[in-house]
Structure 1
Amino acid sequence: MENIDVHDLVQRLGEDEDMARKKAAFMLQSAIGDPSFADVFIQQGGMPKLRFLALQSAGNTLAYTLASFSRLLELDMGWEYVSRELIERAVELVVSQPLVNILRASMSVLVAIVSHPHNPGSQPGPFGFRALKPSISGHPQFLEILVGKLSAADHALCANALQLINALMRDAITSDTETEWPKFIKKLQDLGVIKAVYILMQSTALQDLAHPVLEFQSLSKVLLRKWKDVKIDLEKSEHRRALKGLHLASNPDRQKKTDEDGVEGSRKHHPEKWRRLGFETESPAWEFDDVGFLGMMDLTDYVRKSEDGYQRILLEQSTRPFEQRCPLARASLSVTLILYEHFEVDKSDSEELERYTALEPRSNLDKVFRPQLLQWSRLHTGGVDAFLRLWKATGAEHEDFQKIEELVRILIEQVVGQAPRTKDTREVEEELADFDYHRLRDLQMELLELTYEDAWGQHLRQVRDELDHEALQFIKEQRVRCLLQGAWFPNISDYNPDGGTVSNQNTKSTALSWRYVRLSHNRRFLHYRDYDSKGEQAPVLDDLRERIDLSIVSSVVSNVSASDSSITETMPASTYTRIVIYGSVFSSGSNSGKEHVLLQLHPQSHTLASEWLDGLLLLLNQQPITSDTSKLIQMISGYGLKIRLLNLSFDDLGEGEAPEVPSREGLDEDYWFDMGTV
C-alpha cells in the first residue's frame, strides 16, 4: 500500500478517460482491504467518485469498482454512500449482466447490505432484506435467476449466489413478521434452492463452496428450530385449517361409522374422530407440544404425498382391535422428533463452524456436511413407513409404542447416520423400507450392551462372567445327560489315525461289530458291551458287562477339534473320527501308573462326537474343546445377558426404591424344572 499515492489514485478515478479509470479501479480493489488505506481513501474524497463509477461505468471498470465497494462495506466503512440507486443498480446487474466478474461483485455488495445489522443508533440508510424488497419487486425474476446461479460452472459465482441467498434467508427469518418469512422461504423452496444446494453438498466442488454451504445447512436447522418453536394454536386459522385438513383427507364420509348398537351410517360426530387418525385423545392440539408446527408440517406433508395411501392405512388399522392399531399420527410426531435429535438441530452455528475448522484440511467432509438433512420430508415419510412396517412385523400393541420408537431411532441412526455424503436419498429410502427386522434387533442389543458397558463397566463384566459360568454348567449337564442316555458306536477294522467322520454307508462294510456305551446313574462308571449288530432298542444298563471306573481315567484325546465342523464333511470315507480314553493302571509295588488305552469310540456324526468328547472332558472337570459346544455356551450366555439387559434400567443400580417382591400367597411347592435337552 505504501507504493500507491492515494491522492493520485482518487484523482484518476474521476478522469474522463476510461482506461485511466479502469487502471485506478483495478489498483483500488487490491488496496482497499487495508483499513488504514481505506481511511485515507475516504478522507481524500474517494467515496463520491467510487459511487459514481458504480452507478455509471461498465465492463471491467464496473467489476473492479463494485469489488472495491463491497470490501469497504465489509470493513464497516462507506455505509453513508449506500443508496437505493446503488441497490437498484446491483439488483439489475444480477438480473441482466452476463459477465461473471460483474455478477460476483454485484452479489458481494448485496450480501454486505443484507447482512449489515440495522440496530438503533447505527448509520442511517436502507439495510437488511427490506432494503432489497422494492428492487426485487421491480425484478420478479431476481430470485429465480439467483437460484439458477447455484448451478453455474464458476465456483466463485456459485458461492457468491449462495452467500446472498443465505443473507436474504437469515435476515428474513430474524426480521420479518411471523406470517411473512414462511412465504419467502417457501418461494425459495419452490424455485428449487434445496435441490440445488443438495447437489452442491454432494459434489466434488464442495471444498470450494464449503463455507456458504455450511451456512445454508445451519440456516436449515434454524428454520427447523423456528418451526418447532411455533406452538399449535387453534385460534390461528392456519393451524386450524391444517388440523382440519388431516381429518378431511382421511375421507371420513366414506368410512363406515358404527355406533355402540351396531347401526351403520350414523351422521353423528364420531366418538373417535381424532383417535382414528392415530392421536391419543380427542383434543390433539396438545400432542404437538414437543414438535410444534414442525410436527404439523411433517404430518400434513405425509398425508398430502399420498392421500390414497393415508386412507388405506387408516382403513387397514380400523379392522384391527384397538390395542393393535398403529397410531399413525403419533408415529409421525415421533419420527419428527427422532430426526430432529438425529441431526442435532439444536446445535448452534458456531459449534458447526468449529467442527468444520477442526477438520482442516477438510479430509473428511462427511462428518460435517449432511445432505440428507435437506431431504427432511422424504426421510420423515420413510421413517413413518418403517414405523408402520415394524409395528406390523412385531405384532406390537399400544403399550409397545416406545419399543418400536426405539427400533426406528436405531434404524435412522444406522441408515441415515451411516450414509456417505454422496449417497443418493433414493437409496436411503430403499434401505429404510427393506432393513431386516432381525438385523435391527441385533443392532439394538449391541448398542444396549455398549450403553450399559459405558454406564456400568465392572458390573456388566461381572454379569457376563457369571452368565458364562452358568452357561457352562448348563451345557455340562446337557452333555452328561447325553452320556447317561447312551449311544451306539461302530468297531472299525481299518481305522485310520488321521481322523474323519464315519458315515452310515461306510460303516456297513467296515464295522465288524457295534459297541454300546452308557454312563452309570451315579456318573462314576462308563459301561459298555460289544454286539454283533446294532440293535433297534438300547440295551439296559445291567446288560453292559464291561465298565471303566472314571476315577482312573487320565485323559481323553480325539482328532475332533474346534474347526472339524467345517472339515469333516469333506474328508474321505476311509478316515474316521475317534475318541480315545486313556487310564493309568498301577502295578504292585509302584506308585506311578502306566497310561493305557481303556476305550476307543468312533462317533458317526460330528454332533455325537461333540457330545461325547466334551461330555467326558466336563466329567473330568476339564474345558470343552469343540465348536458345537462353544457356540451353545456363547448362545446361552448371550441370551441370558440380553434378557437381563432388557429387564434392567439404569435406576436398578442407582438410588431409588427397591422393586416390590412378588407375593407367594396362594402358591404351594408343587412345581418342577424341565431341564430337557438342547
Structure 2
Amino acid sequence: MSASLHSHSPLPSANGYGSKSVALVPTNNVTTKDGVTVRARIDPTLTVEDVVKQLCLNLKIKDPPVMFALRDEMDDLVTNDNLRKKIKTKLNLKYAHQLDLLEAAEIVEKLSIRDDKTLKLALFSLQKFIREEQFANEFLNRDGLRELVDVIYASHGNTLAYALTAMQNLMDLDYGWSSLDDAFIFKIVQILSSSSSLINVCRPATAILKKLVEADPVSAPGPIVASSSRRPPVVPPGSVYRYGFYVVFEQMRKEKGLLETVVSSMMLINSLLSHVNNTRWDEFIAELDRLNVRKAVIRLMSSHIFEDLTSCILDFQANIIRVTYRKKTTLVEPDVETSHATMLKQIWTTSKLTETLDENGENLKWRKLGFDTENLTREFGDVGVLGLDCLRNFVQNDPDSFAQVVLEQISRPEERRCPIAKASNEIVELLSEHWAIFAPGFHTLALNFSLRMWNESGAAKDDFPRVIALARSQVKVALRRENVRPWHEVEQDFLECEYRAVRDRQMKELEQEDDLLSKIPVRNLRAKLYKESYEFVRQQRIQCLLQGAWFVNAIPISSPVLRDTVRRPTRPWRFLRLDNGLKYLHYVDSAVKFPVRNGLEDLPERIDISLVNEIATGTCAPPPNVLRDHSDLPPTSPLVPSELSFSLLSAHDGSLADQIAPDQSRWADWTDGLNMLRRDSGHVTSQETAGFVQALTEIGLKIKLLDLSGEKVEIPSGLVAGAPPTNTEFFFSELM
C-alpha cells in the first residue's frame, strides 16, 4: 500500500508494487482522526488489520494499531468481507479509534440519563454500532442490556423506535440477551398492541417477538441434551435459545386483541406458524381461523405493497399447506377432544333431527346425515379434522338452508337419499387433490353443486360415485385459471350449470381420457413420478449454476438515472458461478468475455445466497450498445425491460445483482435454478422448466403403465384391507 497527502506530497510505498503495478490499484481518500485527508492506494488482497498497521506506519502514528479501525463515510465498519468492494468503489474512508472501549462506555452512561435529546443521540448511534461484535461485547460487559431495557420501559415515540431497533440489532447475536424475562416480552406485546399506527415502533417490536419465537431450544446450534423423550431439550445456562413459541404466546394471550393488531404482520405470523408447539396448536390455529387471517393475506396481496411481500406470502402459503395437512391427518375424536364434540353438536343441532333407534335397537343418529356408521372417527378417517371443519363451515354458511336440505333428504325413501356428510368428505378429498392450499368457500360451492346434481339426476344410493365424478369434472372446469378469474365467474360455473350439460361434457372427457388414468393407484403413481421429475429437473438446473455462465450487467428500470445520462459501462459483462456448497454466487465483471477456468480462482467477488429473498424477472434493461437488439435505440429512448432480465433482491439492501441472460434457455436455467435453491424448494418461473417436469412425468407414467398393461395386470380402483389375524402366529413376507 502506498499513500500520499492530499497536497500530493509523496509517502513511502508499503506494498512492494513497482510504479506500473501501483497505477492499477484504486485510490481512496482516507481521513485521519485529526481531520487530515490523505490519498492512499490500498492493496485489496490485504486484511483490514494489515491496512491499519501500514497506515499507522506511513502516517507515523505512535499509538498501537490495535486501537484503530477503518470506517466508511457512513460510519459503517470496514471488514475483511467488504474491504475489496469499498476499495473498488473508491469510497471515502475514515481512520478512527476502535469503538469497543470508548464509545461503548460513553453510550451506556448516556442511556442512564433521561434527557430526551441526549438519549436520542445515544440510541441513534447505538442502533448502528451494536451490529459490531467488539462494540457489542463491551456494551454487554458494561451492563448495557439492562440500561437499554430500562429505556424501552420508559420511552415512547422516536426514542422508543430507536431503542427497539437497537435491541433488534443486538438480538442478531446468538448470545448476550438470555436475561430478557417474561415481563420484558409482555412489555413488547403491549407496545405492539397499543402502537399499531406507528410503523417505526411496530416494525422492530415485531422483529423482537419473531426473534424470541425462533429462539426455541430445538433450534439451538450444536449438541443438545434432551432431559427425556417427553420434555423439551435442555440448553446450557446463558443460552439465548430458551424461549420459543410457548414463552411468547403465553404473554400474547394476556393482551386481548393483540392478534388482531399483528394479523397483517406476515413476518410474525409466519414465525408463529412455523414454531407453534403441540400444546397450543389447536388454540392458536382456532384463533387465526376466528380472525380470518387468510382474508388479511388476500388484502395484502391486492395492495400496492404486495411485491415487497412476495417471499412472505409464499412462506405463508407453505405454512397453510402444513396446517391443512395436519388437520387432514388429525383424527376426529369426539370422546377425547372437546372442540370436536362441540363442532359435531353444532352440526347436529342445526340439522333439527332427533336421535332414534334402528330396527336392531341401535342408536340411529349420524347415519341420518349420510354416514355409513355411527363411528365418527372412522367416517372422518380419510379427511380428519379438516373434513369436520369443512362440514361445520358448510352448516354455518346457511343454517336454515342446511336444515331444509336435511329435511328434504330424510323425507325420501332411504335408497333415494343423498348422503350429505359422506358427500362433504368426498368434496374435501377432491379439492385436496386439486389444490395445495384448501379453501372452505370452494367446498361450500362444490358440495351444494353435488347436492343439486343428485336431485336433478334422480340419483339413488348406488349412484354416489357417479355424482362425485360429476363434481370432479365441474371442479376442473370451474377452477380453471382460478388465480386470475373473478370470484363471481367461479360461482356462476357452480350455481348455474345444468346437469345435462355437465354430464355431456364429462362423457366427452371420458372418451378422450383412458379410464385407467382416473384410478386412484395411477393418480398416486403420477404424483410420485411428478416429485421425482421435479427433483431431476432441479438437479439439472443447479448443475447449470455450478458450471457458470456469462450475463450482461443490466440497468434496473426503477433506477433514478435518466436515460440520456446512461453510457456504456466499462465492464458490461459478468460471469456467475455457484460454489459447490450451494451458498455463494461467485462472479467477476469484465470489459470482454474471456475463458473462465474451473473453480473460483477467476471469480474474486461473491453474493451470499441466503441474502436473496426473491428472484424478480423482467426488471431491468440492457445498457446501450451492449446487446445488438438494443444498439439502434436513440439516446433519448426510455429504458425498455428485457424479457431475459432478472434481479436478485434482498430484504433490506435492494438489488444484489441485475443481469440479462444471453437466451431463453439460459434465462430459464438460472431463474428457476436460483428459485429452486430456496429452503422450500422455491417455485418454477418459466414455462420451459414446467414443461420439462410435466413431460418427464407423463413419459414415466406411460412407461410404467405399458409394463402393467403388457402383462394384463388389473389395476383396482381401491384397496380393501382384509380381516385382521386371529392370533399372533404370522409373519410379514419379504417378497414384494
Q: TM-score, normalised by structure 1?
A: 0.53
Specify whether residues 57 and 439 from structure 1 end up closer, same or farther in structure 2 by C-alpha distance, changes over 3 A only: same
Give the structure 1 partner of residue 204 of structure 2.
Answer: 105
Give the conservation status (yes or no) of the 8 Å contact 2:270–2:319.
Answer: yes
CA distance in 2, matches of 1:88, 1:99: 18
Distance 1:34 1:452 in 2: 65
- Label 1:234 to 1:46 Cα distance change in 2 as closer, same or farther (>3 A): closer
Report what 1:162 is aligned to. Answer: 266
Could you tell me which residue of structure 1 aligns to residue 711 of structure 2?
Answer: 655
Q: Does 1:201 align with 2:287?
A: no
Counterpart of 1:9 in structure 2 is 103
Q: Identical aligned pairs, as a percentage?
A: 30
Name the structure 1 match of 2:288: 188
Residues 66/234 of structure 1: CA separation in 2 closer, same or farther (3 Å cut): closer
1:378 counterpart = 2:478: no
Pair 1:55–1:411, CA change in 2 (3 A): same
Inter-partner Cα distance in structure 1 for 2:315 and 2:714: 51
Deviation at 1:328, TM superposition (A): 0.9
**What are the residue-to-residue correspondences of 1:439-588 with 2, within 5 Å?**
439-441=501-503, 444=506, 448=510, 451-452=513-514
Write the distance in 2 (CA, Å) between the matches of 1:30 and 1:214.
Answer: 31
> 1:395 maps to which residue?
458
Structure 2 residue aligned with 1:76, among 163, 170, 174? Answer: 174
How far apart are residue 334 of structure 1 and its match? Answer: 0.5
Shift in CA distance, 76/339, structure 1 to aligned 2, threshold 3 Å: farther
Structure 2 residue aligned with 1:252 = 353
Deviation at 1:25, TM superposition (A): 3.1
Residue 419 in structure 1 maps to residue 419 in structure 2: no
**Residues 1:406 and 2:481 are matched in the alignment:** no
Q: 2:370 aligned with 1:278, yes or no? A: yes
CA separation of 1:236/1:182 partners in 2, compared to 1, >3 Å: closer, same or farther? Answer: same
1:61 counterpart = 2:176? no
Write the deviation string for residues 92-111 of structure 1: whole angstroms up to 9, x where unpaired: 21123353211211111111
Q: Determine the C-alpha separation between the residues in 2 that align with 1:141 and 1:258.
A: 47
Distance 1:449 1:339 in 2: 23
Letter aligned with residue 9 of structure 1? E
| Contact preservation (8 Å) 2:165, 2:204 | yes
Residues 227 and 294, structure 1, Cα contact 8 Å, conserved in 2: yes
CA separation of 1:137 and 1:403: change in aligned 2, threshold 3 A: closer
| Structure 1: distance between partners of 2:149 and 2:337 | 48
Aligned-partner Cα distance in 1 for 2:346–2:147: 59
For the 8 Å contact 2:105–2:139, the answer to whether it is kept is no
Q: Is the 8 A contact 1:227 1:292 kept in 2?
A: yes
Partner Cα separation in structure 2 for residue 651 and residue 315 of structure 1: 51
Verify the 8 A CA contact 1:202 1:422 in the aligned structure 2. Answer: no
Residue 86 of structure 1 is matched in structure 2 by 184
Find the aligned partners of 1:316 and 1:653 in 2 and give their Cα distance.
Answer: 46
Q: Deviations over 1:621-648 (max 9, x none)?
A: xxxxxxxxxxxxxxxxxxxxxxxxxxxx
2:395 aligns with 303
Query: Residue 171 of structure 1 aligns to which amino acid in structure 2?
Result: H
Counterpart of 1:333? 425
- What CA distance in whole angstroms lies between the structure 1 residues aligned with 2:258 and 2:714? 68
Q: What is the identity, as a one-letter code, of the residue corresponding to 2:103?
A: L
User: 1:257-299, CA deviations, whole angstroms, 9 ceiling, x for partnerless residues?
Assistant: 9998xxxxxxx96886433311123544412110112212222
Residues 2-11 or 218-227, more deviating:
2-11
In 2, the alpha carbon distance for the partners of 1:269 and 1:454 equals: 43
Which residue does the alignment assign to 2:4?
A: none
User: Which residue is 1:121 aligned to?
Assistant: 235
Please show how residues 633-644 of structure 1 align to structure 2 within 5 Å. none
Equivalent residues, number: 412
Q: SS at 1:79's partner residue? A: coil
2:256 aligns with: 140
- Please give the per-residue CA displacement for 1:290-333, whole angstroms capped at 9, x wherever unaligned: 01122122223322333332232233224444333221111000
- For 1:108, the aligned partner's letter is A
Match of 1:222 among 322, 328, 338: 322
Q: Considering only aligned residues, what root-mean-square deviation do their CA atoms show, in Å?
A: 3.8
Distance 1:450 1:22, change over 3 A: farther
Q: Which amino acid aligns with 1:165?
A: I
- TM superposition shift of 1:244: 5.1
One-letter amino acid matched to 2:283: K
Distance 1:428 1:658 in 2: 38
Q: Residues of 1 paired with 2:707 and 2:335: CA distance? A: 42
Partner letter of residue 62 of structure 1? L
**Cα pair distance change 1:13/1:446, threshold 3 Å:** farther
Gaps of 5+ in 1: 151-160, 261-267, 346-372, 457-648, 660-678
- Measured after TM superposition, the shift of residue 384 of structure 1 is 0.6
Larger radius of gyration: 1
User: Equivalent residues in 2 for 1:22-37 (5 A)?
Assistant: 22-30=120-128, 32-33=130-131
Q: Which has the higher helix share?
A: 1
| 1:420-465 Cα shifts (integer Å, max 9, x gaps) | 35734x5533332123445544654565566549979xxxxxxxxx
Q: What is the letter of the counterpart of residue 306 of structure 1?
A: D
User: Quick check: 2:328–2:384 contact (8 Å CA) kept in 1?
Assistant: yes
Q: 1:566-622 CA distances to partner (integer Å, 9 max, x unpaired)?
A: xxxxxxxxxxxxxxxxxxxxxxxxxxxxxxxxxxxxxxxxxxxxxxxxxxxxxxxxx
Higher normalized contact order (CA 8 Å, seq sep 6+, divided by chain length): 1
CA distance in 2, matches of 1:451, 1:383: 23
Could you tell me whether the CA contact under 8 Å between 1:25 and 1:65 is conserved in 2?
Answer: yes
Between the aligned partners of 1:288 and 1:455, the Cα distance in structure 2 is: 26
Q: Partners in 2 of 1:448 and 1:6 — Cα distance?
A: 75
Amino acid in the other structure paired with 1:379: F
Q: Is the 8 A contact 1:114 1:129 kept in 2?
A: yes
Q: What amino acid does structure 2 have at the position aligned with 1:89?
A: K
CA distance in 1, matches of 2:388, 2:295: 23
Q: 2:332 aligns with which of 223, 226, 232?
A: 232
Letter in 1 for 2:124: F
Counterpart Cα distance in 1 of 2:460 and 2:304: 47
For the residues of structure 2 that align with 1:208 and 1:259, how far apart are their CA atoms?
61
Cα 1:339–1:79 shift into 2, 3 Å: farther
Please state whether the residue corresponding to 1:80 is helix, strand or coil: coil
**Unpaired runs of at least 5, structure 2:** 1-76, 79-93, 219-233, 519-704, 716-736
Compared CA separation, residues 307 and 654, structure 1 to 2 (3 A)? farther
What is the distance in 2 between the residues matched to 1:428 and 1:11? 65
Contact 1:51 1:81 in 2 (8 A): no
Paired with 2:453 and 2:348, the residues of 1 have a C-alpha distance of: 25
1: CA distance between counterparts of 2:706 and 2:458?
27
Partners of 2:399 and 2:706 lie apart in 1 by 43
1:59 Cα deviation from its structure 2 partner = 3.5
Q: 1:327 to 1:259 in 2, by over 3 A?
A: closer
Residues 388, 64 of structure 1: CA spacing in aligned structure 2 closer, same or farther, 3 A cutoff?
Answer: same
Q: 1:653 to 1:75 in 2, by over 3 A?
A: same
Q: In 2, Cα distance between the equivalents of 1:77 and 1:26? A: 22
Q: 1:423 to 1:203 in 2, by over 3 A?
A: farther
